[in-house]
Structure 1
């Protein structure tokens, strides 16, 4: 499978399950109505796990422009592939949001609150303070990408402090890594970020996660929808990219 197709599919899975749990909790007449923040954060953690578990073998399952940029800056990904990956991730975000709308179409129709409908697509700050919102998203993404960078470059520490990808045990060369299970710590990391840092902004920590569904919100014939809040849209795009750069810089500093 093409890695770009895999990024579209992976990001679509992320948004389908992630925004799907938000819709289940927020929209009227669902089985999950008023399930609360714990349900939402667990749903997002599982969404990341499934997306990485299924598509990681084809593209690395970045499913996040901030991760792609961070990996490239750290020297773990080719810069020439970054634009195509980001475009694929945004397309996947739009597709995932469309699938959520199809799944909950009747419930969107039954919901009159415009802010709840928008929240099923993109993030909304609870206190609109752009510098503070930017800082929160930057810190959350820094933590995410910093963790991913170490998962993306596993190895053994040699006697001289060098990073070894394999070691010899009883005459056999043994590699390091969790394989597909590496998706689990990424999902748990996102869960932890949501539980600890998600309160102020809803923790986009991913430009494609916010921008793709926001585009879908603007384009889809959703009943009772209001503004797509483009005035805020730059924050969950620019701040995660800044967080990705900072995470890569910290990773390189600690690795030098």
Structure 2
């Protein structure tokens, strides 16, 4: 698989993921929307279905859509060169930024009418319910560990589509979408479950650079947690899969 295909596929898939995922948050959080105050369960299902859509359109690269998944698959033994990993990362981060900008365009008038800066930031990035760097980091590590560990498990049971590269697309979009929903329902409360460095960092950058009236700060003091936590959790999930999920 050539590097251009990886980059384009990951960019398109991650842009779709963030457009729909951050879009459901915007629909709930911003003033005067039809879905205002729809609740956290709506967010969980919205993100799960966003993953479903992103995986579906990023089939040609395997649909990693997440640097933690890329690293986790590599740690589990999937053959990925250093250059391929960098290109996956590039597509994931660029796609996430594009998706965030599209959410802003779709909800521009509602961003203008929203009085609370925290609600505007919450559309783009995650934040803790109780701020504690150590415990927030642990939550993100655990959530991402579950994501990657179960994804590797999906690949070792049932029928995997070997016609596409290793990744979420080879497993089928629906199982991964349901996994994201259950992680959100069960482990999402403390931090909003980023479980994806690109999902949080690129939209946070978009929040910082877009001309959003009254947006406040982008909370850079917290921004490292939804990057470092998922990286650690993803690698640990991949490493744990080797002894705990044997191929035979």
Give the alignment's TM-score, normalised by structure 2.
Answer: 0.91
**SS in structure 2 at match of 1:45:** helix
Q: 1:247 to 1:180 in 2, by over 3 A?
A: closer
Structure 2 matches for 1:222-237, cutoff 5 A? 222-237=212-227
Aligned with residue 140 of structure 1, among 138, 143, 147: 143
Q: Which residue of 1 aligns with 2:183?
A: 193
Q: Which residue of 2 aligns with 1:64?
A: 66
Distance 1:121 1:165 in 2: 33
Aligned with residue 237 of structure 2, among 229, 247, 251: 247
Q: Which residue of 2 aligns with 1:35?
A: 38
- Deviation of 1:139 (Å): 0.3
Q: Which residue of 2 aligns with 1:103?
A: 106
- Deviation of 1:200 (Å): 0.4
Q: CA RMSD in A?
A: 2.0
- Deviation of 1:148 (Å): 1.2
Aligned with residue 133 of structure 2, among 103, 106, 130: 130
- Deviation of 1:180 (Å): 7.0
**SS in structure 1 at match of 2:127:** coil
- Deviation of 1:150 (Å): 2.1
- Deviation of 1:3 (Å): 1.6
| Aligned residues between the structures | 237
Distance 1:141 1:148 in 2: 10
Structure 2 matches for 1:155-234, cutoff 5 A? 182-234=172-224
Give structure 1 stretches of 5+ with no counterpart: 157-163, 167-177
Distance 1:204 1:83 in 2: 21
Q: Which residue of 2 aligns with 1:76?
A: 78
Residues 196-254 of structure 1: CA distance to partner in whole angstroms, max 9, x if unpaired? 01000000000000001001000100111010011100000000010011101110112
- Deviation of 1:87 (Å): 1.5
Aligned with residue 27 of structure 2, among 24, 28, 53: 24
Distance 1:33 1:128 in 2: 25
Larger radius of gyration: 1
Runs of 4+ in 1 over 6 A off after TM superposition: 178-181
Give structure 2 stretches of 5+ with no counterpart: 163-167
- Deviation of 1:151 (Å): 2.5
Give the alignment's TM-score, normalised by structure 1.
Answer: 0.88
